[in-house]
Chains A and B, each alone.
Chain A
Amino acid sequence: MAEIYFTKDHEWIKVEDNIGVVGITAYASEQLGDIVFVELPEEGITAEIGKDIAVVESVKAASEVYSPVSGTIIKSNEDLNSTPEIVNEDPVGKGWFYEIKISNNDELLGLMSEEEYQKHIGD
């Protein structure tokens, strides 16, 4: 059963064993408005926790996405190249960004639960 964690910067990560799927939250996608381009990380590169790994371009602006954990990128969501708007339509589902092989599961302890995240955006 996959577990979902959140960052204060509005990324989510669904984790099963030591593989994570990363995207941005519904709150983030709504704030950004119409998304027109996502610059995804290349497979095989190393991500570092808290460092920028992807860029979301909405009509309004470019926004950086920070990796919730460290690890190696296994796969990027190629559907976003042709239909970036699925990030708006289904941010925590079909609008995922990349899959990552997590190098240190302890990093997950520093992330927020869904409940904590809801509280965070409600502040």
Chain B
Amino acid sequence: MTEEGSWKQLFCHGDYMSEAYWGLEQNLKTTPLYKVHNDNRAKLVPFAGYNLPIQYENGIIAEHNHTRNSVSIFDVSHMGQIKISGPMIYDAMEKILPISFSKIAPGQIKYTQFLNNEGKIIDDLMICRTFEEDHVWLVVNADCTPKDLDHLYNNLNKTYKIELIKDRALIALQGPKSSNILKTFFQEIDDMAFMTADWFNYNNENFFISRCGYTGEDGFEISIKDRHAEKFINELLQCEGVKLAGLGARNSLRMEAGLCLYGNDISSSVSPIEAGLTWSIPKERIENGGFIGHESIKKDLENGVERKLVGIKPLGKLPAREGAQILDKNEKTIGKITSGGYSPSLQAPIAMGYINSDILKNNYEVLLDVRGNLIPAEITSLPFVEHKYFRGNK
């Protein structure tokens, strides 16, 4: 028996994945929560240059369902946290990102993308307009961090200071009960709206907390100094109902939520218009331009794009994964799956992929080529599972 696909390493290395020397042998980095993972019997896999838990002992489905029903902790310390400071920082960032700071209140977070000159996605990211006016705070994908930094250095002049934050862990607390848990540490957290962030203090330590996430649930991302991360996680784990969850559950949760994974659903050959991310670009930026990639984005919107990201529901039980061809009834190729797997919430396979725009409409019946078997499937809108973000106490 051998494993196909991107988790190959897991099977090949078997039990030894929990041994520290694998990390050394493959030059894998560890996060400040490495001990917590091992103490909780994590199955560790190489991911984005780090040794990270794909699951703990309860397994992916249990971790997934626990996140939807209660609250889970994910170690996302591999992600790049970047602080950029300098004069007129908003004007400078608007030349790089298709966002409008005039529409972003202090403390607000926006989802956006770094684009190349062709309007394709270098990376997708969260940017926070902090309450301090001299800097912005970014969270970017682990694998993309080096090219993101290059992009920033190439497009910001030397008066701007670009800092990769190397001494802070990042912990995601996700699920409907996440605010109940977190408010026992930070009372004010209850009033935060989704997509806002602020600094908090606990035990004389500064926490940068964002109410956001990658699961479709209410939740928080907590940036904390490395040296305090383990202690804080262990305190969280003492709270009733809080459990650890790994990358496996993170992936099935984000797929159900219809959220793109960089490297799968979006990449430097995909435009945000193709990926269904037009909502993230304000109208006045499309009209007025002034950011990298604008001309292509405008063209994509005016002329339409040839392919679009859609949700796909394979009928039956066989999951169709990344790379599977999408065919029409005449068995002509019309697209390709970019993410696919099993949805624990729907107890059925789900997938995302690109389809030629000219044949696109809801409930369009297609075929998926899974190892030579043609599986009937239907096109659907995203997300598969409704988002339950917290929009405020008003």
A: residues with CB less than 8 A from B are: 9-11, 24, 27-28, 31-34, 36-37, 39, 55-57, 59-66, 81, 121
List the 3 closest pairs (A to B, CB-CB), nearest first. A59-B60, A36-B342, A34-B61
Question: Once the chains are docked, how many angstroms separate the CA of A33 from the CA of B15?
Answer: 13
Whether B11 and A31, one on each chain, are in contact in the complex, defined by CB atoms closer than 8 angstroms, is: yes
Whether A63 and B318, one on each chain, are in contact in the complex, defined by CB atoms closer than 8 angstroms, is: no
Whether B3 and A63, one on each chain, are in contact in the complex, defined by CB atoms closer than 8 angstroms, is: yes
Task: Give the nearest-CB partner of A57 in chain B.
Answer: B319
What are 20 A-B contacts with C-beta separation under 8 Å?
A: A9-B1, A27-B14, A31-B11, A34-B60, A34-B61, A36-B317, A37-B317, A37-B319, A37-B349, A39-B373, A57-B318, A57-B342, A59-B341, A61-B3, A61-B7, A61-B10, A61-B321, A63-B2, A63-B4, A64-B1
Shortest A7–chain B CB gap in Å is 8
Task: Give the nearest-CB partner of B317 in chain A.
Answer: A37
| SS class, residues of chain B in contact with chain A | mixed
Question: Once the chains are docked, how many angstroms separate the CA of A28 from the CA of B318?
Answer: 20
Whether B14 and A59, one on each chain, are in contact in the complex, defined by CB atoms closer than 8 angstroms, is: no
Whether A28 and B1, one on each chain, are in contact in the complex, defined by CB atoms closer than 8 angstroms, is: yes
Whether A33 and B2, one on each chain, are in contact in the complex, defined by CB atoms closer than 8 angstroms, is: no
Tell which of A39, A57, A65 touches B1, judged by Cβ atoms closer than 8 Å: A65
Chain A residues within an 8 Å CB radius of B344: 59
Whether B4 and A61, one on each chain, are in contact in the complex, defined by CB atoms closer than 8 angstroms, is: yes
Task: Give the nearest-CB partner of A9 in chain B.
Answer: B1
Whether B60 and A62, one on each chain, are in contact in the complex, defined by CB atoms closer than 8 angstroms, is: no
Shortest A69–chain B CB gap in Å is 15
Whether A63 and B248, one on each chain, are in contact in the complex, defined by CB atoms closer than 8 angstroms, is: no
Whether B248 and A36, one on each chain, are in contact in the complex, defined by CB atoms closer than 8 angstroms, is: no
Q: Assess A39 versus B318: contact at CB under 8 Å? Given A60-B10, A61-B7.
A: yes
Per the 8 Å Cβ criterion, residues 10-44 of B in contact with A are 10-11, 14-15, 43
Chain B residues within an 8 Å CB radius of A28: 1
Chain B residues within an 8 Å CB radius of A9: 1-2
Shortest B16–chain A CB gap in Å is 10
Shortest A85–chain B CB gap in Å is 9
Chain B residues within an 8 Å CB radius of A59: 59-61, 64, 248, 252, 341-342, 344
Chain A residues within an 8 Å CB radius of B349: 36-37
Per the 8 Å Cβ criterion, residues 238-259 of B in contact with A are 248, 252
Task: Give the nearest-CB partner of A39 in chain B.
Answer: B318
Question: Once the chains are docked, how many angstroms separate the CA of A18 from the CA of B11?
Answer: 31
Kindly list 14 other residue pairs between chains A and B, CB separation below 8 angstroms, not including A36-B349, A37-B319: A32-B3, A32-B11, A34-B60, A37-B317, A37-B318, A39-B318, A55-B371, A56-B1, A57-B342, A60-B54, A60-B60, A61-B7, A63-B1, A63-B2
Q: Assess A60 versus B1: contact at CB under 8 Å? Given A27-B14, A36-B319, A37-B317.
A: no
Say whether B55 faces chain A, with CB atoms less than 8 Å apart: yes
Chain A residues within an 8 Å CB radius of B319: 36-37, 57, 62
Shortest A40–chain B CB gap in Å is 11
Question: Once the chains are docked, how many angstroms separate the CA of A84 from the CA of B224?
Answer: 41
Q: Assess A33 versus B55: contact at CB under 8 Å? Given A27-B14, A57-B342, A59-B344.
A: yes
Tell which of A27, A33, A121 touches B248, judged by Cβ atoms closer than 8 Å: A33
Q: Assess A62 versus B4: contact at CB under 8 Å? Given A33-B248, A36-B317.
A: yes
> Which of A39, A59, A121 counts the most B-chain CB atoms under 10 A from its CB?
A59
Say whether B6 faces chain A, with CB atoms less than 8 Å apart: yes
Chain A residues within an 8 Å CB radius of B321: 61-62
Tell which of B5, B6, B8, B60 touches A33, judged by Cβ atoms closer than 8 Å: B60
Q: Assess A60 versus B248: contact at CB under 8 Å? Given A27-B14, A36-B342, A55-B371.
A: yes
Tell which of B4, B14, B54, B61 touches A64, judged by Cβ atoms closer than 8 Å: B4
